[in-house]
Structure 1
Amino acid sequence: MKVNNVNGNPLKNNPSLIFIIGFIGVVFIGTTLLNFPFSSLNGRSIGFTDALFTATSAVCVTGLTVVTTATQWTIIGKIIILCLIQIGGLGVMTLSTLIAFFLGKKISLKTRLLIKEERNTYELQGVVRVTKNVLIYTFIVEFIGAILFSFVFCKEYGFIKGIWFSIFHSISSFCNAGFDIVGNTSFMKYVTNPLINFTTIILIVVGGLGFFVFIEIIKVRKFKKFSLHSKIVLIMTGILLLSGTILIMVLEYNNANTIGNLGFFGKLQASLFQSVATRTAGYSTIDISGLKDSTSVIMCILMFIGGSSGSTAGGVKVTTIAVAILAMHSTIYGKKHIDIFQKRISNSVIMKAIAVIGIAFGVVTVVSIILSITQHIPAMSYVDVLFESVSAFGTVGLTRNVTPYLNFIGKILISGTMFIGRLGPLTIALAVASRQNRFVGNIGYPEGKIIIG
């Protein structure tokens, strides 16, 4: 009698593991290339640790840097970083599919399964067609963003350099990476420039909404006909952007270190920009180290939540938080089920949301505690450390002047946190879904009573 091997090849039976290995491979290649002397302006190797940190930050579309991107890297180094950002934003399998298209190769079932995992979709049917549309949509949006940026950058830096700056920042903004090559102060000198501000905001929001939501907005147009996912994403995004803008503006209104010296419209513009960028992009038009602690905590919450599933954004995702809030609401009002927009949310989705939030909270807590013990940075408070940890996990890229002073342990720890933040919650949710049926048996146990609260 033939006995099937249940476990089999772990790579064959676990697409999520292949997904992780793919990202590790890209990080390793990026680290190797950035470590070569030709990548640094001084003609010397930057060192493995700093190269690893930069490559991880780029692939995980985070934006945290231990060196100034504008002054450390040659044009080759910057192109390498930009390629890593694009790969990290689109996904390894999506880029592999693009290469297969150009080579005329057929997309195998295994590759389709991997794309499904990477894009976080429920359906396998049409996944290649969706991938093609994602690529087209991405390049069109980035092209438009580069054109808008060019009106400012070409005027300031000249045509050739201006075009390069426009392309770099358009891709970085859309992929929610937050890398910039204008200097060591991010976009602070453009704090009152409407074209830079609103172009960046639109690119970040579009990238953070995700392809499926954006396509529904274009094709379906009517909110009532949107899918439940798109409705929740749009509502939560609107609430978070509005509340973030108001809270930042109110808390920092008279703070001379941030927006205190700006006029009313300047304060509003800077607050809106930071509310958007804090969700996952990492650009800043104000001095983040000058924020009040209360504002930093608000930003930690925004960074922890992040953007939408299936997008270039990080965090635990707005849909995860929405499900958790709806679950609390149903519990308080004694409802047996979660119903919204005449749709019922399954218990499996609720359990996944709780698992993702719990694991994310645990990672941030552990990382912040270890950082507070191992890092000896002058005037560093626990708020600074917590901010750094959440920023890394949420793949945001903002820092309260902690990243440049990290020691070896801190760099490795933050690199790992960025990687977990980019792949962890999604991979964990998929792993739970794939293993779910293995634990369904015919034996039922009696209920046990546990006192909660």
Structure 2
Amino acid sequence: MSLRKGNVFMVKEQKIHLRLSNLQIVTLGYFFVAVVGTMLLLLPISSTGGKTTLLEALFTAVSASCVTGLVLVDTSTHWTLFGQFVILVLIQIGGMGFMTIGIQFLLLVRHKISLREREVMVESINASQLGGIVNMTSKIFKWTILFEGVGAVLLAIRFIPEFGLKRGLFYSVFHAVSAFCNAGFDLMGMKRPFDSLVSYSNDVLVNGTLMLLIIIGGIGFFVWDDVNTHGFRWKRYNLHTKIVLTCSSVLLIGAAMLFFLLEGSATGADMGLGERILTALFQSITCRTAGFNTIDTGSMSQGSKVLSMLLMFVGGSPGSTAGGIKTTTLAVFILYAVSGIKREGRATAFGRTLPRDSVEKAVSIFTISLGLALTGTLFICAMQPFAGMDVLFEVFSALGTVGLTTGITRELAPVSAYVITLLMFLGRIGSVSLATALLEKKAKSPVSLPEEKIMIG
């Protein structure tokens, strides 16, 4: 701002403060992690051939930091030990949350956590309140290390005799972290590239360990805390925990039964009864954003592919390492539909009434996620002559941060690969946060517009 007095100009400096929203900080944080990961994977030391394209590095970095699992190159054969370690770190940061790790570092150096940092932490893990958030992040960090450690020990029982001490230990840690963070990255490509865990389809120890890690990582940090506080006393659980556990159980058991029936004449045709049950159970769990597979996904029946897409769209639970629209969103949607049929006016569950804003948020998340999926599918179909079912499967896998594929990932043209990359990123930060940002209003208008009925249905 300039003021003129005679021949003298006086300039008044104004400081411009650029204040980013909590959502913007979280988004930029994940973007920064992906960029750093991309640069590290571009280093000659990261790949066995000493050369990786920008697209391959970016796609892998985003897939790892967004805990998805889709890959353009085989993780075991393309990347060196250094490259695999970079991917492992990206998975851990993406699964646990960069803010959780950052807060632990600040506490380690005895830095006082500011109010703004607490607010960003709430946004990062989708917490419902600010109080006790620092203590909660410490629990998340400790529990994550504990669960991954136990999982690694169990996997080591199988992997050390098979791969030797050093490689067996690394494989155990890598797959335990990948499973708990619902990432779906594996190192079994040395047997057959892009084959995931098909060679372990009948291994109870490997399947059981990975399934438990996926479930624990996918139910959410707040459910852990509630169960840890109240034990197995169901009546003392809060409504969120009851809905998550109920919805997760129904999806797990129901989907396993359907997979068992649908795959009887497809991938399960040459399997024994025990292996069919194990693969059906594993598929019902891994489709909820884990990304491992013990059967050939491309050879599944059409019914199983549709069921897989539905599970990938739902995903895990809020405040977890999983993606998707979340189990609570599905539950609210169903409860609200039932209340509408009964003409009760409000959705209720376990003797509680669901807040109106929860219903509005669920509708927004569902609409935004479905819109992104359909837009991505149409765009890729316009670019490449893939079967529509395969493209839809790929898009739901990316947006739900799952990692399953029918086999078209490595056949994607660069423009299609960038679309999938964007969907993976939006799936990690967008399904909940984007809807929340759209619902937030800087200032409410004092004027209410008149109502007018329209025909529905």
Aligned equivalents of 2:106, 2:200: Cα separation in 1: 40
TM-superposed deviation, 1:146: 0.3
| Aligned match of 1:224 | 235
| Aligned match of 2:316 | 307
Aligned equivalents of 1:174, 1:13: Cα separation in 2: 31
| Aligned match of 2:201 | 191
| Aligned match of 2:6 | none
TM-superposed deviation, 1:160: 1.3
User: CA offsets per residue over residues 71-99 of structure 1, 9 Å max, x none?
Assistant: 00010000000000000001111111122
Aligned equivalents of 1:429, 1:363: Cα separation in 2: 12
Aligned equivalents of 2:315, 2:186: Cα separation in 1: 20
Task: Please give the residue correspondences for 1:4-403 in structure 2 after superposition, counting only pairs within 5 Å.
Answer: 12-44=19-51, 46-183=52-189, 184-220=194-230, 221-255=232-266, 258-376=267-385, 380-403=386-409
Equivalent residue for 1:448, pick from 432, 440, 452: 452
Aligned equivalents of 2:438, 2:59: Cα separation in 1: 29
Aligned equivalents of 1:167, 1:181: Cα separation in 2: 11
Equivalent position SS for 2:325: coil
Unaligned runs of 5+ in 2: 1-14
Equivalent position SS for 2:188: coil
The residue identity in structure 1 corresponding to 2:229 is: K
Aligned equivalents of 1:10, 1:272: Cα separation in 2: 53
TM-superposed deviation, 1:12: 2.5
Aligned equivalents of 1:216, 1:156: Cα separation in 2: 39
| Aligned match of 1:3 | none
TM-superposed deviation, 1:11: 5.8
TM-score normalized with structure 1 length:
0.95
Aligned equivalents of 2:339, 2:39: Cα separation in 1: 51
User: CA offsets per residue over residues 277-314 of structure 1, 9 Å max, x none?
Assistant: 01100000000010111110110000000000000000
TM-superposed deviation, 1:217: 2.0
Equivalent position SS for 2:353: strand
Aligned equivalents of 1:56, 1:84: Cα separation in 2: 9
Unaligned runs of 5+ in 1: 1-7
Aligned equivalents of 1:417, 1:372: Cα separation in 2: 15
The residue identity in structure 2 corresponding to 1:14 is: S
CA contact (8 A) 2:69 2:184 kept: yes
Equivalent position SS for 1:425: coil
Aligned equivalents of 2:209, 2:18: Cα separation in 1: 42
Percent of matched pairs sharing the same residue: 38
| Aligned match of 1:5 | none
Aligned equivalents of 1:100, 1:141: Cα separation in 2: 23
CA contact (8 A) 1:11 1:17 kept: no
TM-score normalized with structure 2 length:
0.94
Aligned equivalents of 1:151, 1:11: Cα separation in 2: 53
TM-superposed deviation, 1:428: 1.8
Aligned equivalents of 2:43, 2:284: Cα separation in 1: 37
The residue identity in structure 2 corresponding to 1:110 is: R
TM-superposed deviation, 1:394: 0.3
CA contact (8 A) 1:117 1:430 kept: no
The runs of at least 4 aligned residues of structure 1 exceeding 6 Å deviation read none
Aligned equivalents of 2:414, 2:71: Cα separation in 1: 14
Pair 414,10 (structure 1): closer, same or farther in 2 beyond 3 Å: farther
Pair 9,137 (structure 1): closer, same or farther in 2 beyond 3 Å: farther
The residue identity in structure 2 corresponding to 1:140 is: L
User: CA offsets per residue over residues 87-115 of structure 1, 9 Å max, x none?
Assistant: 00011111111221222211111111100
Equivalent position SS for 1:101: helix
CA contact (8 A) 1:352 1:432 kept: no
Equivalent position SS for 2:276: helix
CA contact (8 A) 2:75 2:186 kept: yes
The residue identity in structure 2 corresponding to 1:322 is: A
